Structure 1
């Protein structure tokens, strides 16, 4: 109850301002200086810096989440000016702050890039989309030529019918990009998962499951559940490849979970996927540490 009250008072703009003023008088340092100089792990520093900037009354400082062209060096200079930091005494503040800001702004830019890809519908009239789809086929079934664009052979890699275009509705081009990245950059893992999907008793639809797992990774990213992973594990601006690797990790772990459950049929997919999603969510929320990738 006491911690809840303190947190409420701190988040209240008026009382928070008083707390910050008192601490600055006592320590001689602004909030951002105190965070950077603290003994906390980098992850907690980044989370605290992000919160401090978000709650800042300065319009120069609280735009870190919304700018796609954020200049981290300029923002540090804005902080130095706004907070009246004597750089002669606090020169060691600059380098780590630039790195932390790079991770924060990069994470938020990544969420926008992922959302943008998800909103792009797959179009069989788009040659780039079709080329990506063919790359997926050729990597998973090398040497096997499709007799036509629409064929039941697509079911060999886990699509539901003759035209894969109809399966990307929910995740758009994000779903296809995840599958293509898996097949091109982690081919051994992709073929391992594909072979499991052909299991005579516990088989599943490789591509469809991949699109579903894309949805899990996407939802976690948008809900902020992957923030701690990115801030702790990616010591730079995160890229789309970092998101794709999370997708692959989830897919690999889901495959293990699916096989361990020994389902009676594919009809159990929704139940098992929901269980798996909760397991991953509990892991992310309880440990507050980066994911440990285990795929091949």
Structure 2
């Protein structure tokens, strides 16, 4: 089995440009749908609406499994505080010269390979984890420092699942597999786009639902990351995908996460059906 390189997201482009995708985006916009709606339809989803909250409204109603529910755009003090901290994490670029960022890299290595000593922060050893070169700091442009935090959280919180995905265990694997670590950075970036948390108030229903979860658990983003990684790998296996289909798998992963977050009985990340993929 060979692992091939895929480009880490350094700009706001998750999928390769094509006339088909451009046409899809235009069609979705003209129909009043978000990109996520179009992606959801292409992945066999039911197409949960992601309507946007208008600035002049304080609350908005939406249809959710035959029941109208109300999500307010006014945040509670706790939500504001936790959103502010999460946004600060998302805007924190990786800086290879910072001792704390260097320590985080060493911690990731120790959590991933507890029996193997890291020779240096710049080493060919990193390629074993799925970084594109011997200096992993060059792969953090798209996800920033939070993508390293996500990987470290995954390794420490769900070590069995982390090692299973790292070692590509289980299922029929493609001859050319996705590189684990770089895929993780792309997943962080995908979640940040999906939740759209840069705004001072949630602009999508998925973002509003997530903020409710964040008020229950400050580590909701990191938990969602772990779920997303497990879902992505399952999608990869179900589709018998190869590295050329990685971006398609990532889009379908996003669509599945959005569907699950909008379910009536999902109030925490742990309530998501795909949370059961973690161990």
Q: Do they fold alike, i.e. is TM over 0.5?
A: yes
How far is the alpha carbon of 1:229 from its aligned partner?
Answer: 4.7
Aligned to 2:217: 238
Residues 228 and 289, structure 1, Cα contact 8 Å, conserved in 2: no
Partner secondary structure for residue 132 of structure 2: coil
Q: Which of the residues 244, 250, 256 maps onto 1:273?
A: 250
2 CA distance for matches of 1:238 and 1:287? Answer: 19
Aligned to 1:160: 132
How many residues are matched? 201
For 1:89-168, list aligned pairs within 5 A: 104-168=76-140
How far is the alpha carbon of 1:266 from its aligned partner?
Answer: 1.2
How far is the alpha carbon of 1:201 from its aligned partner?
Answer: 2.4
Aligned to 2:147: 175
Q: In terms of mean alpha carbon deviation, does 126-135 or 286-295 score higher? A: 286-295
Q: Structure 1 residues 44 and 107, CA, compared in 2 at 3 Å: closer, same or farther?
A: farther
Partner secondary structure for residue 196 of structure 1: coil
Aligned to 2:226: 248
2 CA distance for matches of 1:189 and 1:125? Answer: 31
Partner secondary structure for residue 133 of structure 2: coil
Residues 83 and 211, structure 2, Cα contact 8 Å, conserved in 1: no
Q: Structure 1 residues 125 and 281, CA, compared in 2 at 3 Å: closer, same or farther?
A: same
For 1:70-89, list aligned pairs within 5 A: none
2 CA distance for matches of 1:113 and 1:244? Answer: 13
Q: In terms of mean alpha carbon deviation, does 217-226 or 137-146 score higher? A: 217-226
Aligned to 1:204: 178
How far is the alpha carbon of 1:142 from its aligned partner?
Answer: 1.5
Q: In terms of mean alpha carbon deviation, does 277-286 or 175-184 score higher? A: 277-286
Residues 175 and 214, structure 1, Cα contact 8 Å, conserved in 2: yes
List gaps (5 residues or longer) in structure 1.
Answer: 1-10, 17-42, 55-64, 66-103
Aligned to 1:190: 162
Q: Structure 1 residues 152 and 216, CA, compared in 2 at 3 Å: closer, same or farther?
A: same
Residues 153 and 162, structure 1, Cα contact 8 Å, conserved in 2: yes
1 CA distance for matches of 2:157 and 2:147? Answer: 16
**Does 2:191 match 1:217?**
yes
Residues 105 and 237, structure 1, Cα contact 8 Å, conserved in 2: no
TM-score of the pair, normalised by structure 1: 0.60
2 CA distance for matches of 1:237 and 1:287? Answer: 17
How far is the alpha carbon of 1:242 from its aligned partner?
Answer: 1.9
Aligned to 1:284: 261
Deviations 1:206-264 (A, max 9, x none): 11111111122222332541432553x56x5431x22111110111111111111112x
Structure (1 or 2) with the greater helix fraction: 1
Runs of 4 or more off by more than 4 Å in structure 1? 197-200, 285-288
How far is the alpha carbon of 1:105 from its aligned partner?
Answer: 3.2
2 CA distance for matches of 1:273 and 1:216? Answer: 8
1 CA distance for matches of 2:233 and 2:244? Answer: 16
Higher Rg: 1
Residues 107 and 227, structure 1, Cα contact 8 Å, conserved in 2: no
